[in-house]
């Protein structure tokens, strides 16, 4: 997937299907989160590293376009990249693919806040560096 | 419903259906929780009253038998009663019904713990009293 | 809420909260669906009326901006309007509010398809008419 | 895990946590389903093989006891065995474990029905055989 260095696989769970016989659209929002967690585990010590610094990342926006239906037990690759880190904000972009075909694409925006006060706090420098390294990797 | 004084209505959400065209069995576990929250709101000041005392109620057991399928947008009554309060434990029993017909029945068990230490702590006396009053009500 | 004629109430379920202590962002996607279903029930005979015509409405896009956190057991009003009906497509816009304060806003796009062939099929005329009437209502 | 030949790993998703900071009890019901699907993929050609024979397996009972809390991003092993196949019914038993420690255990019961008529239909002989072979394997 052009421009993406990272992907993680999710399988459509039966509980995620709906009476239209397809993966329910809300389940993709959770799949994007699974992909972010996998991205952080691969590149930045996991979400627990962020929390260890007394920081939580809140989700401030979700945008998803559904291109094709996905079905029970299908393996989907969630291509994921972290972009636009600035101050207390960053964004992820995603392409959800099945056998090279786009099933959905979208983005999520996030804000880092102090875990206790919930006030905005800058993205830690180590996280900015880790993402810079991850995104500079040659494409898979 | 014999022996029950309280019920709350839930509608089957589309997101709760699955590719068998029915309400997914895990969604009933959430419906029981919705019913407990409604029961507490009616009889004991709401779950927030329990939390206000520095207590959390953990779920320690779930048991459900599915008698009939439920379908999208159906209105189900969740008949609910609180039983067996003793020490730091209590139980709920449920019948999920549609038009007088049993769709599912089951029970959940709970333990009260200190919100901070997570150590078992007795169910507050006011809660025991509130449940005693609720369950002594004449049947609807 | 300016420009909206319809709202429905949802309560934040405990199962919808997450370890940040707030309603998980994916749960709002389900709340929008609950609101669409309520809108259809109020104005167009319910989603079952659409299905009765051999039609399914697929979700093709979701967009949500989260403005404030929502917490367990809070009552949220989901203001909902149906816009841009044309051919086999339509869109909903939403404002999720708590006590007059915006918690989230967003939109979803939908395509009507033949339930069997899954090919695009025009939104039925009666549905277009029902939405026109609903949206022409004086604001609440 | 004594008496179990099969396990599959699930990670606690952030969306599965709740405001008590732990994996919500309903999420385990989905994890058991994920484990059944993995068991079938390993031993019986996957759930799609059952469906290919015009059969659906309905869930008729769920029972779970929660022994310890599970937390975000923890890896849990779901030990799974299929037991008591007879006629149109079978059962699964489970132990959910973390680092050799029991987090939860339980069982689910199922009935095989004709996918169209939803009438009970015997578990196919090939499935009975596949389970017999799977359960006769020496322990891992």
A28, A68 contact by CB (below 8 A): no
Please give the Cα distance from A27 to A13 (Å, whole number): 9
Question: Which residues of chain D make contact with B63, given a CB cutoff of 8 A?
Answer: 61-64
C46-73 pLDDT, tens per residue? 998 999 999 999 999 999 999 999 999 9
Percent of chain D with pLDDT over 70: 97
Which residue among C14, C19, C72 places its CB closest to the CB of D14?
Answer: C19
Say yes or no for a CB contact (<8 Å) between C14 and B47.
yes
D1-55 pLDDT, tens per residue? 889 999 999 999 999 999 999 999 999 999 999 999 999 999 988 998 999 999 9
Give how far D4 is from chain C: nearest CA, Å: 31
Best CA proximity match to D15, nearest among C43, A108, B25: A108
C88-124 pLDDT, tens per residue? 999 999 999 999 999 999 999 999 999 999 999 999 9
Percent of chain A with pLDDT over 90: 91
Q: What pLDDT score was predicted for residue B139?
A: 54
Give how far A17 is from chain D: nearest CA, Å: 12
Q: What pLDDT score was predicted for residue C39?
A: 97
Say yes or no for a CB contact (<8 Å) between D18 and C14.
yes
Please give the Cα distance from B89 to B107 (Å, whole number): 13
Residue-by-residue DSSP string for A97-112: EETTEEEEEEEEEEEE
Please give the Cα distance from A126 to D120 (Å, whole number): 59
Helix (H, G, I), strand (E, B) or coil at A58: strand
Whats the size of chain C, residue-wise? 140
Please give the Cα distance from A129 to A125 (Å, whole number): 6
Please give the Cα distance from D27 to D71 (Å, whole number): 12
User: Strands (DSSP E) along chain C, which ranges?
Assistant: 6-11, 55-66, 75-86, 89-98, 101-114
Write out the H or E segment, with its range, that includes residue D38: helix D25-43
Q: What is the dihedral of CA A116, A120, A126, A128, to 10 degrees?
A: 150
Which residue among A30, A46, A47 places its CB closest to the CB of D15?
Answer: A30
Q: At what angle do helices D25-43 and D125-136 cross, to 10 degrees?
A: 100
Give how far D11 is from chain A: nearest CA, Å: 10
Which residue among A19, A71, A72 places its CB closest to the CB of B14?
Answer: A19
Structure tokens at A97: 């693919």
Q: What pLDDT score was predicted for residue D139?
A: 54
End-to-end Cα spacing for chain C: 8
Q: Rounded to 5 degrees, what are φ and ψ at A88?
A: -105, 25
Structure tokens at B128: 């025991």
Give how far A130 is from chain B: nearest CA, Å: 34
Mutating which of B14, B41, B48, B52 best tests the C interface, going by the most C Cβ atoms within 10 A?
A: B14
Instruction: Label residue D20 exposed, middle or buried (CB < 10 Å: 0-12, 13-18, 19+).
Output: buried
Instruction: Label residue B84 exposed, middle or buried (CB < 10 Å: 0-12, 13-18, 19+).
Output: exposed
pLDDT at C133 over 70: yes
In sign, the C-alpha dihedral spanning B111, B116, B118, B123 is negative
Write out the H or E segment, with its range, that includes residue D67: none
pLDDT at D65 over 80: yes
Chain C contacts to A (CB-CB under 8 A): 20, 25-26, 29-30, 33, 56, 58-66, 69, 118
Q: What pLDDT score was predicted for residue A1?
A: 84
Please give the Cα distance from D25 to B108 (Å, whole number): 11
Touching subunits of B (3+ CB pairs, under 8 Å) are A, C, D
Q: What pLDDT score was predicted for residue B1?
A: 83
- Give the residues of chain B that fall short of pLDDT 50: none
Average pLDDT on D67-95 reads: 97
Q: What is the dihedral of CA B22, B27, B31, B36, to 10 degrees?
A: 160
Question: Considering only alpha carbons, which residue of chain A is nearest residue C67?
Answer: A60
CB atoms within 10 A of CB B124: 16
Mutating which of D34, D63, D116 best tests the B interface, going by the most B Cβ atoms within 10 A?
A: D63
ipTM of the complex: 0.95
Question: Which residues of chain B make contact with C15, given a CB cutoff of 8 A?
Answer: 30, 33
Q: Rounded to 5 degrees, what are φ and ψ at A77?
A: -95, 130
Say yes or no for a CB contact (<8 Å) between A14 and B24.
yes
Question: Considering only alpha carbons, which residue of chain B is nearest residue D21?
Answer: B115
A83-139 pLDDT, tens per residue? 999 999 999 999 999 999 999 999 999 999 999 999 999 999 999 999 999 998 765
Say yes or no for a CB contact (<8 Å) between B61 and D66.
yes
Q: What is the dihedral of CA D7, D10, D12, D14, to 10 degrees?
A: -170
pLDDT at C139 over 80: no
Best CA proximity match to B106, nearest among B115, B116, B96, B117: B96
Please give the Cα distance from B131 to D120 (Å, whole number): 41
CB atoms within 10 A of CB B101: 8
Best CA proximity match to C93, nearest among C13, C26, C5: C5
A20 Cβ partners below 8 Å, 6+ apart?
A69, C56, C58
Please give the Cα distance from B89 to B99 (Å, whole number): 33
Q: What pLDDT score was predicted for residue B138?
A: 64
């Amino acid at each position: 997937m052009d421009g993406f260095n990272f992907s993680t696989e999710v399988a459509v769970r039966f509980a995620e299907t709906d009476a239209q016989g397809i993966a329910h659209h809300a389940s993709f929002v959770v799949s994007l989160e699974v992909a972010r967690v996998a991205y952080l585990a691969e590149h930045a010590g996991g979400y627990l590293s962020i929390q260890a610094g007394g920081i939580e990342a809140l989700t401030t926006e979700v945008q998803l376009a559904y291109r094709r239906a996905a079905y029970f037990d299908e393996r989907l690759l969630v291509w994921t990249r972290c972009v636009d880190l600035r101050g207390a904000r960053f964004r992820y972009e995603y392409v959800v693919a099945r056998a090279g075909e786009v099933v959905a694409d979208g983005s999520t925006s996030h804000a880092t806040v102090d875990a206790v006060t919930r006030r905005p706090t800058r993205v830690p420098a180590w996280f900015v560096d880790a993402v810079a390294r991850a995104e500079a990797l040659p494409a898979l």
